[in-house]
């Protein structure tokens, strides 16, 4: 099925409202990347989301979009609280998969000669790979405390500071979490995975800041040219996956019961005001809090490794959190819609919040600058730090892209990598890589992803976020 697209400007393409669509679709991209986007069912999924009850304004997709479960990855959609729905497909299986960035006073000339030693130490300290388990074992009481407290649970156990919480989206804790709606199966899956990286596109990346675009914002974020930073990209592990899977079954039945016509069973949903819809949000919040605790713990261990490898004091290293952002979440937020301020439910799946200076949801530490936005690329090129804008608040409910976005499926990537040594190719670029999975390097090779520079140029040009800095990888751990 070919979806008609109408070009609005250099960065915006509209899917006109047809059939049972309640609103138009809106895709942010440029003409060159549009060709890749049209190779899969992503645009069809944008149109399908536009048929859901209570959707507001547009069904949207960012330039890193590609086919996903129900919603496209890169999808953004907001729903009225009275007439609208919540859909697990609009959040994804890896609830609160997100990215965390740390800055240091170290420079590349000191880290590059030690990169193999550093990455090896990180790999030995932070479990990675499919089904990986960590050293933290939770009893039922402690696990439920994690689901409610989020990153604060780790901070209370000396694995971080109050300052870390101030630099984390929602201060590392989502309100409304209720462990009572989480299945025993989900609890079991999450019991020994706290402090683990996981598999797939999850990673820890040691990088150097190569270019600064906005000196004021970069200074506020603690970034400087030549400075070494660390990205941590992970989520809610098996617990989040199971919570999503459990509620997809429940909400599929609710959609049928309520007479909600969905064009794809993967768009299972429930009215936001229904008990099942509220239960999903409460379970999703549990997974989100687990993910924040998970990244907080990994950051603490990462800091310890750096201190050990470089035999430096915390004061000398000045290794601190820049920010932590969600990529997969649904949130009740206050936005202006048709000239009126109201609470709505914003789904961001493979999309990042983008809030401007002065917004009350931006923590005080960055309120005068705007919210930091972290855009990881592939492990062979670079990543970006952006800052939120008024344009995103007005047009996309405060949303922007979240990464480079795939152009090859994992199966296609493995096939394309046959006969090649991705590890040696990366080493030839000066990037030392270790992995916890047999096929991880092939599945996640740079060729499997879009050009992150182009993706960022689209959101920068469209006014959805503003470029602050670009980084280049020195060493990577892939899940």
Q: What DSSP string describes 183-205? A: -HHHHHHHTT-TT---STT-EEE
**240 CB neighbour count, 10 Å cutoff:** 31
Segment 444-455 mean pLDDT: 94
Lowest mean pLDDT among 32-36, 210-214, 326-330: 32-36
Task: Say if 89 falls within a structural domain.
Answer: no
Query: Which residues, listed in sequence order, are joined to residue 325 by a DSSP beta bridge?
Result: 99
270-322 residue pLDDT tens: 999 999 999 999 999 999 999 999 999 999 999 999 999 999 998 899 999 99
Q: Which residues contact 35 (CB under 8 A, 6 or more apart)?
A: none
Looking at residue 131, its pLDDT comes to 76
Looking at residue 165, its pLDDT comes to 98
Query: Which residues, listed in sequence order, are joined to residue 353 by a DSSP beta bridge?
Result: 399
Statement: the pTM of the whole predicted model exceeds 0.85: yes
**84 CB neighbour count, 10 Å cutoff:** 22
370-380 residue pLDDT tens: 999 999 999 89
CATH (domain of 179): 3.90.1860.10
Task: Say if 472 falls within a structural domain.
Answer: yes
Average pLDDT taken over every residue of the chain = 96
Structure tokens at 459: 């959101």
Looking at residue 1, its pLDDT comes to 61
Sign of the four-CA dihedral 178, 187, 202, 161? positive
Q: Round to whole Å and give the CA distance between 226 and 209.
A: 5
Res 347 pLDDT > 80: yes
Looking at residue 440, its pLDDT comes to 86
CB-based contact 328:343 (threshold 8 Å)? no
Task: Say if 466 falls within a structural domain.
Answer: yes
Please report which confidence band the pLDDT of residue 200 belongs to, taking 50, 70 and 90 as the band edges.
confident
414-442 residue pLDDT tens: 999 998 999 999 999 999 999 977 788 99
Please report which confidence band the pLDDT of residue 463 belongs to, taking 50, 70 and 90 as the band edges.
very high
Domain count of the fold of the chain: 1
CB-based contact 331:351 (threshold 8 Å)? no
Q: Round to whole Å and give the CA distance between 175 and 183.
A: 19
Task: Say if 25 falls within a structural domain.
Answer: yes
Task: Say if 91 falls within a structural domain.
Answer: no
Q: What DSSP string describes 215-247? A: HHHHHHHT--TTEEEEEEEE--HHHHHHHHHHH
Res 83 pLDDT > 90: yes
Domain encompassing residue 60 = 6-84+97-478
Segment 143-172 mean pLDDT: 97
Is 347 known to be catalytic?
A: no
Helix (H) or strand (E) segment spanning residue 455? helix 452-461
Segment 404-412 mean pLDDT: 92
Looking at residue 438, its pLDDT comes to 73
Structure tokens at 40: 């899969």
Res 223 pLDDT > 80: yes
Task: Say if 92 falls within a structural domain.
Answer: no
Spot the catalytic one: 66, 233, 300, 402: 402
Task: Say if 1 falls within a structural domain.
Answer: no
Segment 246-259 mean pLDDT: 96
Report the SS3 class of residue 22: coil
Looking at residue 405, its pLDDT comes to 93
Task: Say if 464 falls within a structural domain.
Answer: yes
């Amino acid at each position: 099925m070919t979806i008609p697209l109408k070009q609005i400007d250099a960065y915006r393409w509209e899917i006109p409202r047809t059939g049972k669509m309640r609103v138009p679709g809106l895709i942010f991209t440029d003409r060159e990347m549009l060709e890749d986007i049209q190779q899969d069912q992503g645009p069809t999924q944008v149109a399908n989301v536009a048929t859901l009850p209570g959707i507001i304004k547009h069904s949207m997709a960012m330039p890193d979009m590609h086919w996903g479960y129900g919603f496209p990855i890169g999808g953004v959609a907001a729903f009225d609280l009275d007439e609208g729905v919540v859909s697990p497909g609009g959040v994804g299986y890896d609830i609160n998969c997100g990215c965390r960035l740390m800055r240091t006073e170290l420079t590349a000339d000191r880290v590059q000669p030690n990169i193999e030693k550093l990455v090896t130490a990180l790999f030995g300290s932070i479990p990675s790979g499919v089904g990986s388990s960590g050293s933290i074992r939770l009893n039922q009481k402690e696990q439920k405390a994690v689901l409610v407290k989020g990153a604060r649970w780790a901070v209370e156990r000396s694995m971080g500071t109050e300052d870390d919480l101030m630099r984390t989206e929602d201060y590392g804790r989502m309100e409304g979490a209720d462990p009572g709606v989480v299945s025993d199966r989900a609890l079991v899956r999450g019991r020994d995975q706290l402090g683990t990286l996981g598999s797939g596109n999850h990673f820890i990346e040691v990088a150097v800041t190569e270019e600064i675009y906005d000196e004021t914002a970069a200074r506020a974020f603690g970034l400087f040219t030549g400075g070494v930073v660390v990205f941590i990209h992970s989520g809610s592990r098996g617990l989040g996956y199971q919570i999503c899977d459990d509620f997809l079954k429940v909400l599929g039945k609710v959609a049928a019961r309520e007479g909600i016509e969905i064009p794809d069973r993967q768009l299972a949903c429930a009215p936001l005001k229904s008990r099942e819809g509220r239960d999903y949000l409460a379970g999703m919040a549990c997974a989100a809090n687990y993910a924040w605790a998970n990244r907080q713990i990994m950051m603490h261990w990462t800091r310890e490794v750096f201190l050990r490898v470089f035999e430096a004091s915390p004061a000398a290293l000045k290794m601190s959190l820049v920010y932590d952002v969600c990529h997969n979440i649904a949130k009740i937020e206050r936005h202006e819609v048709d000239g009126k301020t109201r609470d709505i439910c914003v789904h961001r799946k493979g999309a990042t919040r983008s809030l401007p200076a002065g917004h009350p949801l931006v923590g005080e530490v960055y309120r005068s600058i705007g919210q930091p936005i972290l855009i990881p690329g592939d492990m062979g090129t670079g990543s970006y730090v952006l800052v939120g804008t008024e344009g995103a608040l007005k047009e996309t409910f405060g949303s922007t892209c979240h990464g480079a976005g795939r152009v090859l499926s994992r199966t296609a990537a493995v096939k394309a990598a046959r006969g090649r040594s991705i590890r040696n190719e990366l080493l030839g670029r000066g990037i030392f890589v270790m992995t916890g999975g047999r096929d991880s390097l092939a599945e996640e090779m740079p060729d499997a992803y879009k050009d992150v520079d182009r993706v960022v140029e689209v959101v920068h040009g469209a006014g959805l976020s503003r470029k602050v800095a670009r980084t280049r990888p020195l060493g990577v751990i892939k899940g």
